[in-house]
Structure 1
Amino acid sequence: MALYSIGEVAVRCGINPVTLRAWQRRYGLLKPQRTEGGHRQFDEEDIQRIEEIKRWVESGVPVGKVKALLEGENVNLHDGWTALQEEIMTVLRHVRPAKLRAKIATVGRENPVDALIDHVFIPVRQRLGLDQNTARAMCSLLDGALIDYVAFCLAGSRKKAGKDALLIGWATDDRTRLWLEAWRLSPQGWRIDVLAEPLEMPRPELFPGQQLFVFTGKPLTRRQQEQMAHWQEQGFTVTHTGS
């Protein structure tokens, strides 16, 4: 029977090893074997379970509810992400940057990046954007903590094997979403650098030979689509992301 290390499983399943450890320790979702030295080893059945967990989470189920689903229990699926959003909001209302950073790090370890961005951080930022004054200050606090955490994650991913790429904001004023989209690309095997200041018009010729991602925050306009096609005809490797 073939056994795989946590690093091998992480690559095969597209899940960060830190997340796999959290699924095991905090939620009891995994029960890997151990070597004499205490290292985790996973078999094909474990990998199938990880893929099933991943499918549930990516479909919008909070990781804290997955175990009950796997065991055939009836679960209310609609309140999990909302509860996590409220936890973030509660920490923000207490205006404790250290606790906010710790909370973001915890949920970042326990949840796939795509699900966390789409079901927690974007909705919370949207809620805060509907209000004025105090909510705007809270949103700024959240944005600073998110960028800080994402920069930490990107720095770690650059130490691993992968493909180098540069992310550029194109005609957008949402710098935090730019960093979140860089974080989204990282688990896909990209070692991302971010051009922190969005541009009205990117210039791929300034970055010859590099893989470029452009983020607009919305679907490309017809003019932008034509510009993308023109760049690609010129031989630049440019991809739109995060629409």
Structure 2
Amino acid sequence: MATFSISAMAAQCGVTTANIRSWERYGLLQPTKDEAGNRFYCIEDAIRIQHIIDALSKGFSLKEIKPALYGEETHCRSGWLFYQEEILAQCRKFEPAKLRKLLWRYGREIPPCIVIESILRPLRLWLSAGDDDARRFEKALLDTAIIEYATFQ
């Protein structure tokens, strides 16, 4: 059976190695390891990764995905709204350090294209639609955190 390294699997599936490691911690993936601890993935893992990406793109959290992978019926609690509310809460509390940590966590758990397209871009649009100073401040704080994340990733 053909096996792939973590970097090869990440490149093949369009995710980061950090995403794959995070999914392992959540019990979504269980690669084989050699004596040195190197991870190896097979075609079934690539299929599982595609199922994870599909569920994430629909707004499921990692905790909600695990039962679905094992055939249990699950329902997405709120799509991306939950993630956006967590980010907005840190902006409103003026907690830039916690906001940065949150973005880093999402970046590890969710493929970057999904974070950008489904969480950050809609939240920025919503913040831009407001005319009040509070929303402008929240957007500036979010933009700063996004730039820091992109710069130091």
Normalising by structure 1, we get a TM-score of 0.58
1:100 maps to: 99
Measured in 1, the distance between the counterparts of 2:73 and 2:85 equals 23
Higher relative contact order (CA 8 A, sep 6+): 2
Checking the alignment, whether the CA contact within 8 Å between 2:7 and 2:17 is kept in structure 1 is yes
Q: How far apart are the structure 2 equivalents of 1:60 and 1:104?
A: 16
Q: What is the number of equivalent residue pairs in this alignment?
A: 152
Q: Indicate the percent of aligned positions where both proteins have the same amino acid.
A: 37
> Is contact 1:32-1:40 (8 Å) kept?
yes
Structure 1: distance between partners of 2:139 and 2:59: 24
CA distance in 2, matches of 1:116, 1:62: 12
TM-score (norm 2): 0.89
Task: State the alpha-carbon separation in 2 of the partners of residues 71 and 47 from structure 1.
Answer: 16
Structure 1: which 5+ runs fail to align? 154-243
Contact 1:65–1:80, Cα closer than 8 Å, also in 2: no
Return the offset for 1:63.
Answer: 3.5
Give structure 2 stretches of 5+ with no counterpart: none
Q: Which amino acid aligns with 1:8?
A: A
Partner of 1:149: 149
Letter in 2 for 1:137: F
CA distance in structure 2 between the partners assigned to 1:129 and 1:64 by the alignment: 31
Matched, 1:12 2:17: no
TM-superposed deviation, 1:130: 3.1
> Which structure carries more strand by proportion?
1
Following superposition, the deviation at residue 128 of structure 1 comes to 1.9
Offset of residue 78 of structure 1 = 5.2
Residues 112-162 of structure 1: CA distance to partner in whole angstroms, max 9, x if unpaired?
122111221112212222331111101101001101111233xxxxxxxxx
Other-structure match for 1:110: 109
2:57 matched to 1:28? no
Deviation at 1:59, TM superposition (A): 4.3
Change (3 A) 1:76 1:59: closer
Q: What is the distance in 1 between the residues matched to 2:10 and 2:49?
A: 10
Q: Which has the larger radius of gyration?
A: 1
CA apart distance, 1:85: 0.9
Which residue identity does 1:149 align to in structure 2?
Y
